[in-house]
A and B are shown apart, each in its own frame.
Chain A
Amino acid sequence: MAAQGTLNQQEIFNRRLPIVVVLMIVASGLLLLRLISFQQLAPEVLTELSTDYNRTVRLAAARGIIYDRRGQRLAVNTLEYRIGVSPNLVANAQRTATQLASILNMDELRAYEAVTSDEPWVLLAPRVKAEVGQQIEQMKLDLQLPSVTIEKIPLRSYPQGTLAAHILGYVSGDLQGYYGVEGYYQEQLAGRAVNSVVSSIPFDQTDTQEPGRGSDIYLTIDRDLQYVVESELQLAVNETSATGGTIIVMNPRTGDILAMANYPSFDPNAYSNVTDQRAWNNPAISGQYEPGSVFKVLTVAAALDKGVITPQWTYNDQGQLNVGGVTIQNWDRGAHGAVDVTGVLVQSLNVGAATISTALGPTNFYSELAQFGMGRLTGVNLEGEAAGTMHVPGDTDWSESNLGTNSFGQGLAVTPLQMITAISAIANDGLMMQPNIVQKIVTNGQEVLSQRVPLGRPISAEVAHQVRDMMVAVVRDGLDDKALLPGYTLAGKTGTAEIPTPVGYRDDAWIMSFIGFLPADEPQVIILYKLDEPNGRWASEVVAPLFRRLAERLVILLEIPPDDVRQALKAQGGIVSGQ
């Protein structure tokens, strides 16, 4: 009976086994099919899932670095960190508070209150230095502290401090550049930020695009020269109690700006601390002023170029001249008798300049000045340049008397950069180069060199040499040796300009300037030195000696040898140039 039962069970087992096997095979097959189907999801399902598992993040590009002409860093990128804590995620409040307080140098009780707060998130430190942030990051990693949040804040930093602030400009918190090179080259420096899709599925490796790093910019500025120029300007302002000043150092052959300093200036690392936002403007390119007697150089050059006068031309100076109803007088109110063209510049005679401009006539005079770039932008690659003001016949503001007053730099306004650019034509054989602040732009290792652009040839080379010789005579004979630099031949001209007000000119303050270049026969550098409202009455007494002091330092830095050495070097095939 028992054997019969066992047989029946065996039969049942034998009958059911294949069914179970078949069912298992079918189930396994279905499972396999389902697994395979997961690998080939329909596009609409993928799209739906991707919103859950993918997120788009904006990857900011690193801003390009700004270097000087020798590769010294003037503007770099740094990081600061914002540190916070999510109290809900804190496992060990005491330990977390102690660690955070120690690194952040904060009160431990305050840190403990923060980590035990009821708030979902508490800010511990709004801005901490990179090294502190990295310590916190390391601590978070070592101690497994998901509650601590670290947010990186990209910053623009200027390691040289206030040096070349007006040239560089600044970058705001949203990484937008303003003023100077930062503003002018914002697009190139900023690079290309990208949107990247980040998946939380480990298998899903999306093609992450790297953000395009911004281009690096090498300036024509020489950092050491810039420092010397800025310190000289600072010293000059202190010595003369001037309200401000500007110095520009340029290579007249190329238009490269080697240094550009203004006083007062600002710190681009703390740009928001300025009380007056006008401090961000670069007076060297945007500050308009009446140039005064420096302008006589252009008047003489224009007349020589038009053939109205020759270097031998003379006139009888009677001490005053009426032009368009306005009586023009010399600076000393005196009459100088028979004076030649060189004498007009050496003695800086207003009557002589006005005599020349009236002989030239308004059409010739203003067309020549326009060729020197008066009343229009130089096109320098810096943000915020002004065009100056020059009224011409036909303008409602122009009168015949302007022909007389404009000849010695009154009744019109220029920027310091416009003025030095115009005079640089005399230093460069009549060819006027566009001022340039960028040496090269480097993008992904590809260098693009700046093009030297001639702005025109306002005067012939012959006239340029004639005027140059007159400017040499000014330094040699007209300034009581105050601008003479032993061993070097300098060419230059002073300007003491009155400051206009709505009711006339001030009689208690002047803008004093000097523009000169050296070596006169082979100019390597041209310098504009301008002081606003310094103590003293004449630029020849105040600015000329300061110019000489600066020139003395520049010839050392730029390795410009004295004339005799230079001539000897030239005789054997070349000259030394520090640029």
Chain B
Amino acid sequence: MSQRWLQHALRGTTWRMQRQAVALAGLGIFIAIIIGALYLAQSASVASLGRQLEGMIARRNQLEQTNEQLRSEIAQLRSVPRLLARAQEMGFVPAGRENIEYLVVDGYNPNRKPVAVVTEEPPEALPDYEESFTGWLQQQWDSFVRQFRSFTTGE
């Protein structure tokens, strides 16, 4: 019964109408695919950046550890017994009181007040980096506007 009804219904439609329906459905699928593709591209981009970030964090941690290791080695190399031995190798001897002469310079006050130094204003902070779809669109738009302006003004 239902099959007959369907055949009857289909026979009653024109090919033109079928083509319209198919085109509409195809368009819908196409739009959905485009949106899906954009979404997937965005997700893949996020995942990729996430991986890059993880890698950079790991690299940063490793560099920090290496730095710390190097600082430790420097501290060992600069320990007093080593410096003393090295200085003696180079012919230095510990200074005694008889080797030290204090000079009193007329008018010099070692406890004078420090002179204030005026420093320059710190440079303006850079804007935060935003990596998102809207951010990307904004960047593209800004870039387009800049190009358009430079084209119109001839700069």
Contacts and interface: CB of A to CB of B under 8 A. Distances in A.
A107 interface: no
A160 B68 contact: no
Interface in A115-147: 130-131, 134
B85 interface: no
Nearest to B103: A565
B46 A72 contact: no
Contact of B72 (A25, A76, A565): A76
Given A15-B7, A572-B107, A575-B111, A21 B53 contact: no
Contacts of A32: 32, 36
B78 A78 contact: no
B112 A556 contact: no
B18 interface: yes
Contact of A565 (B11, B51, B102): B102
27 contacts: A15-B11, A17-B18, A21-B18, A21-B25, A25-B25, A25-B29, A28-B29, A78-B69, A78-B72, A130-B69, A159-B73, A159-B76, A159-B79, A160-B75, A160-B79, A160-B80, A202-B47, A205-B50, A227-B81, A487-B97, A552-B97, A556-B100, A565-B104, A572-B104, A572-B108, A574-B110, A574-B112
A305 interface: no
5 smallest beta-carbon distances between A and B, as pairs: A574-B111, A159-B75, A573-B109, A202-B47, A73-B75
A181 B72 CA distance: 19
Interface in A536-579: 552, 555-556, 561-562, 565, 568-569, 572-576
A208 B80 CA distance: 42
B65 interface: yes
B113 to A, nearest CB: 11
Given A159-B75, A163-B79, A18 B53 contact: no
Interface in B1-31: 6-7, 10-11, 13, 18, 21-22, 25, 29
Given A78-B69, A556-B97, 9 more contacts: A21-B25, A76-B71, A76-B75, A131-B69, A157-B72, A159-B76, A487-B97, A555-B97, A575-B111
Interface of B: 6-7, 10-11, 13, 18, 21-22, 25, 29, 32, 36, 43, 46-47, 50-51, 53, 57, 64-66, 68-69, 71-73, 75-76, 78-81, 95-97, 100, 102, 104, 106-112
Nearest to B39: A39
A393 interface: no
A18 B36 contact: no
Given A72-B78, A160-B80, A569-B104, A202 B97 contact: no
A159 B80 CA distance: 10
A507 B36 CA distance: 96
A79 interface: yes
Interface in A1-51: 15, 17-19, 21, 25, 28, 32, 35
Interface string A147-177: 0000000000101110100000000000000
A19 B18 CA distance: 11
Main secondary structure of the interface of B (DSSP, over half): helix
Interface string A68-79: 000011001111
B153 to A, nearest CB: 42
B7 to A, nearest CB: 7
Nearest to B43: A203
Contacts, number: 102
A340 interface: no
Contacts of B72: 73, 76-78, 157, 159
B50 A203 contact: yes
Interface string A477-489: 0000000000100
A79 B66 CA distance: 9
Contact of B102 (A159, A161, A562, A573): A562
A267 to B, nearest CB: 13
B46 A573 contact: no
A415 B7 CA distance: 109
A266 B115 CA distance: 46
Nearest to B111: A574
A205 B46 contact: yes
B22 A21 contact: yes
A223 interface: yes
A79 B73 CA distance: 12
Contacts of B50: 202-203, 205
Contacts of B36: 32, 35
A449 B134 CA distance: 47
A78 B79 CA distance: 17
